Amino acid sequence: MPITAQRITDITTDVVKESFFSYFLGREEGDTRHAVLAKFFPAESIVGSAIVGIATSLGGFWEKLAAKIASENGFEVLEVKKYCFQPVHVPAPINTLISSKHQNRMVPHNNVPMSEYETELKNLIATLDIPVDLVFQKLEKGSGIDLLLKKNNTLYAYDLKTVQLNASGGGLYSERLMKWAAYNAIYQKSKGTSDLFEGHIVIPYDPHTRNNWWDRFGGRVYPLDHIDLKLCNDFWDFISGIQNSFQYIEQAVDRLVTQGYPAIYHPSLRQSDPQQSFNILIKTCNVTAADPDNVPTTFVEKIEWECTACDHHFEKSIRWFEKNRFCPSCSLRFLK
């Protein structure tokens, strides 16, 4: 059954709630302070540190969201860490092709499309003797693949980036896409298979209101073009099969704001301790404390809880909820 616009909104809501709950529950106050800012703006410095922490923690948010949406639209989500298609030794002619074509693409205003390289790669692979016992390994650290999907005998590899790319990012990501394509081509020839391959850089959303992301950063990502780099709906529409799908992701966030959901975590921006985590559990989960006045003083102290669905009582610490979020009795998912 195809995914619906409402389902995109529901999935987004769940991933947002899970992400914030995971970050804030059991979060301890950091013991590092900026030498100047902490003295000039002590209160603001604490909040700023928390915001930076959230931003870092949410780095995997878009991958999680994309994986769930793609999965419900018929894509197979492959585990990147376990997928082995990088040859231990890349044939010298292929390394030469990558180097020469990369240099050619990097020449200003050359605008050499990736398809030109892919055609040359295909022709070169056909001439090479790739042994069936060629050794492959897991993708090297920093290979860049955040999301690996498969559908209709095509493998889709994505590197999801922040909206602000470094000035030298284009060349780095262009060469990365070329290597991905080469690795896959070698793998397919060795295994005698014929799966197709597409690799893309992804910018998950456009933060600009007055102009387009390409107007602001297009020069930085050269030689990448609109085929190499998927911006916002170019990506979301493809994996969801729904036009202008990012609006349904935004609707989920807007709805949470209207419902007052961010207020649950506002106090934790300024203070992170067992009391705040206790409050988060009560407000976001289907549990209540058997004794409301018995607030744990540490993250590992056990207190008595009650499941609001089956009335089952159990003793657990706040730390337990970080990894175990289902009722021990009725298996209800605690996080609302």
Residue 168 is predicted with a pLDDT of 78
- Residue 312 covered by a domain: yes
Same domain, 111 and 194: yes
Name the token pair of 188.
Answer: 């397919």
Find the helix or strand (DSSP H, E) in which 37 lies: helix 37-40
Q: Residue 182: which of 114, 95, 81 has the closest Cα?
A: 95
- Based on the domain organization, do 178 and 207 belong to the same domain? yes
182 and 246, same domain (yes or no) = no
Domain assignment present for residue 65? The answer is no
For residues 17 and 135, membership in a common domain is answered with no
Instruction: Determine the pLDDT at residue 58.
Output: 80
* DSSP characters over 124-184: HHHHS---TT--EEEPPTT----EEEEETTEEEEEEE--SS--TTHHHHHHHHHHHHHHHH
Tell whether 98 and 169 lie within a shared domain: yes
Backbone angles phi, psi at 277, to 5 degrees: -65, -40
Domain assignment of residue 69, yes or no: no
Q: In 3-state terms, what secondary structure has residue 76?
A: strand
Listed residue (72, 80, 29) closest to 299, CA to CA: 29
Domain of residue 150 covers 74-231
**Residue 94 within any structural domain of the chain:** yes
Per-residue pLDDT of the chain (336 residues), as tens digits, is 689 999 999 999 999 999 999 999 998 876 677 888 888 988 888 888 888 888 887 878 999 999 999 999 999 999 888 887 899 999 999 999 999 999 999 999 999 999 999 999 999 999 999 999 999 988 777 778 999 999 999 999 999 998 877 777 899 999 999 999 999 999 999 999 989 999 999 999 998 877 789 988 888 899 999 999 999 999 999 999 999 999 999 999 999 999 999 999 999 998 889 999 999 999 999 999 999 889 999 999 999 999 999 999 999 999 999 988 899 999 999 999
Written as one letter, the residue type at 317 is S
- Same-domain pairing of 293 and 151: no
Q: Could you tell me if residue 224 is inside a domain?
A: yes
Question: How far is residue 32's CA from residue 66's CA, in Å, rounded to a whole number?
Answer: 34
Number of separate domains in the chain? 3
pLDDT at 332: 93
Same structural domain, 176 and 286: no
325 in any annotated domain: yes
Amino acid at 28: E
**Is 250 found in the same domain as 166?**
no
Judge whether 179 and 155 are in contact, CB under 8 Å: no
Read out DSSP for 81-98?
GG-EEEESS--HHHHHHH
Three-state SS string over 108-126 comes to: CCCCCCHHHHHHHHHHHHH
Are both 205 and 78 inside the same structural domain? yes
pLDDT value of residue 162 = 85
Q: Are residues 214 and 185 in the same domain?
A: yes
Burial zone of 152 (CB within 10 Å; 0-12 exposed, 13-18 middle, 19+ buried): exposed
pLDDT at 31: 67
- Does residue 248 sit in the same domain as residue 172? no
The whole-angstrom separation of Cα 54 and Cα 135 is: 40
Is residue 236 situated within a structural domain? no
Helices (H) and strands (E) in the chain, counts: 13, 10
Q: Is 268 within the bounds of a domain?
A: yes
- At 148 the pLDDT is 95
Rounded CA gap, 41 and 333, in Å?
41
Clarify whether residues 25 and 156 are in a common domain: no
